[in-house]
Structure 1
Amino acid sequence: MTTFAPDSLALNRKLPLWYQVSQSLRASILGRRPEEPLRLPTEDRLAEHYGVSVLTMRQALKELEAEGLISRHRRRGTFIEPSARRGAPVRLLGSVDAIVAQQSGERTTLLGHGTEPIPADLAEHFPGRTEAVGYRRLRCEEESGEPTNWAHNLIRPDIAEKIDLDDLTRWPMTKVLRDAVGVRISRITDTVEARLADPETAGLLNVPLLSPILHYTGLTYDEDGEIVDVARIRYRGDRFSFTVTLDAH
């Protein structure tokens, strides 16, 4: 069975339960290892795992089926589609699991990591610190190997020492921090803006210099309100779109 995490959801009552479950399950599906089985557990087992009703679980699975990530066969069960499309629109709907799902599902290469000075424009987020641990990762499509985005994360040193580098080639940083390291994330503030590819980004993403990219900045805070991670992700402008859904209630 595919490894699912987290074991239970910290549910946000302002968002539909089926949506939160679908995003968590989506992240686990896209982050599965190739050797893991394609068959999913039954609806009853999944509902028990996520602590929701079977009806909610069924609606979440329906969403994933519509996206082409799974196929459902009467009497045979539910299966992950091995050829499911890995690229996806950037969607922010107000939950940590949505962000995890957004960043999941591509082959990730760790380009490097180590202690580095905190840039002047980020110093306000790391009061009293002059250094953080940086991680640079390149994400590529599974089948074609074509680069789609690259990420630079700055992590507090006391948190970085708990990170297993192997986890960073499988899971997005947000998932590693929450589910592997055990950081209790209180909020993530996101900014997405249009920029032009600098020389480093153009080289890594194999796009022309000064071509359009989506530049994402994510600030992750723990339950004490202290910064944990500052993520900067450069997405190829020809491969991603950006959608925001606001809850009016």
Structure 2
Amino acid sequence: MSGFFAPDSLVLNRKLPLWYQVSQSLRASILGRPASAPLRLPTEDTLAGHYGVSVLTMRQALKELETEGLISRHRRHGTFIEPAALRGAPVRLLGSVDAIVAQQSGERATLLGPGPATVPVPAELAEHFPGTAEVVRYRRLRFDEAGEPVNWAENHVLPELADRIDVTDLESWPMVKVLRDRVGVRISRITDTVEARLAQPETAALLRVPLLSPILHYTGIVYDESGRVVDVARIRYRGDRFSFTVTMEAPG
């Protein structure tokens, strides 16, 4: 592909979705591009042929990059790298829903406040709940076996699903497990983001850490099989009680 900087070949791992592998290859090329590289990408057909995948697979890979803000797509004009796409953009890792459930399980949780509350969709979450005016918010504080607080979580759930949630399940199960195993939501994917932040007054008090001390802020966006967001979780972890380990398999 003349003028393009993607690798000459990509060994695809059958254990991972093709669209994900292609999107990550393209992502690495975009973030590592030389200053002289063109901003316009080849056509979907050309890219699909280069990677040896279907046009539908390539389209899904490009949609992922568009959602991340690395590219923009313009009908009849083509696909372009966003000039503001920087090398410091967050890395996305693929795992299973079961892995996320396992990571969030095993901790005792206490509901904060009087219980679930119906609230207006927070402005910063509005893009995830288009056409929805209100969500049901759950707030929980989790403890380890020694009784020390390790994180506190907020979940914003669609009201029609919240009506079927037994809050006692949330004392021992993460929300994603409750939605999947109790409510019957067919979860298709979860997008996770972990950021370093400073503890604000409420977080500092709940987690028993100094004000403005480092914490890890996790955001998990849960999608059902139709692509609809059913839950957005925001979890604040004590920086001294949380580690993030990823195991990557090399293609055979």
TM-score normalised by length of structure 1: 0.62
Output aligned runs, 1:31-180, within 5 Å.
94-111=95-112, 112-142=115-145, 144-180=146-182
Output aligned runs, 1:11-30, within 5 Å.
14=15
Gaps of 5+ in 1: 1-12, 16-91
1:241 to 236, 240, 243: 243
What do you get for the CA RMSD once the two structures are aligned?
1.4
| Partner SS state of residue 181, structure 2 | helix
Partner of 1:46: none
Partner of 1:216: 218
Q: Is this contact kept in 2: 1:215–1:234, CA < 8 A?
A: yes
Letter in 2 for 1:234: R
Q: 1:108-162, CA deviations, whole angstroms, 9 ceiling, x for partnerless residues?
A: 10113110111111100000012100000000012x2110000000000011111
Letter in 2 for 1:96: V
Letter in 2 for 1:102: Q
Distance, in Å, in 1 between the alignment partners of 2:202 and 2:152 is 10
Distance, in Å, in 2 between the alignment partners of 1:207 and 1:233 is 15
User: For the structure 1 residues 243 and 173, does the alpha-carbon distance in structure 2 shift closer, same or farther, using more than 3 Å as the test?
Assistant: same
| Partner SS state of residue 178, structure 2 | helix
Letter in 1 for 2:144: E
Which structure's relative contact order is higher, taking Cα pairs within 8 Å and 6+ residues apart?
1
Q: Is this contact kept in 2: 1:93–1:245, CA < 8 A?
A: no
| Partner SS state of residue 240, structure 1 | coil
Gaps of 5+ in 2: 1-13, 17-92
Percent of matched pairs sharing the same residue: 76
Partner of 2:39: none
Distance, in Å, in 2 between the alignment partners of 1:149 and 1:188 is 19
| Partner SS state of residue 179, structure 2 | helix
Deviation of 1:247 after TM superposition, in Å, equals: 4.2
Distance, in Å, in 1 between the alignment partners of 2:230 and 2:186 is 10
Q: 1:177-205, CA deviations, whole angstroms, 9 ceiling, x for partnerless residues?
A: 10111100000000001000011100100
Distance, in Å, in 2 between the alignment partners of 1:201 and 1:126 is 25
Q: 1:182-233, CA deviations, whole angstroms, 9 ceiling, x for partnerless residues?
A: 1000000000010000111001000000000010000000001000000000
Letter in 1 for 2:101: V
Distance, in Å, in 1 between the alignment partners of 2:197 and 2:247 is 23
| Partner SS state of residue 244, structure 1 | coil
Letter in 2 for 1:162: R
Q: Is this contact kept in 2: 1:93–1:244, CA < 8 A?
A: no
Deviation of 1:163 after TM superposition, in Å, equals: 0.3
Deviation of 1:248 after TM superposition, in Å, equals: 4.3
TM-score normalised by length of structure 2: 0.61
Distance, in Å, in 2 between the alignment partners of 1:198 and 1:14 is 41
Letter in 2 for 1:227: V
Distance, in Å, in 2 between the alignment partners of 1:246 and 1:230 is 26
| Partner SS state of residue 200, structure 1 | helix
Q: Is this contact kept in 2: 1:14–1:247, CA < 8 A?
A: no
User: For the structure 1 residues 244 and 157, does the alpha-carbon distance in structure 2 shift closer, same or farther, using more than 3 Å as the test?
Assistant: same
Deviation of 1:93 after TM superposition, in Å, equals: 5.7
Output aligned runs, 1:192-231, within 5 Å.
192-231=194-233
Distance, in Å, in 2 between the alignment partners of 1:197 and 1:247 is 35
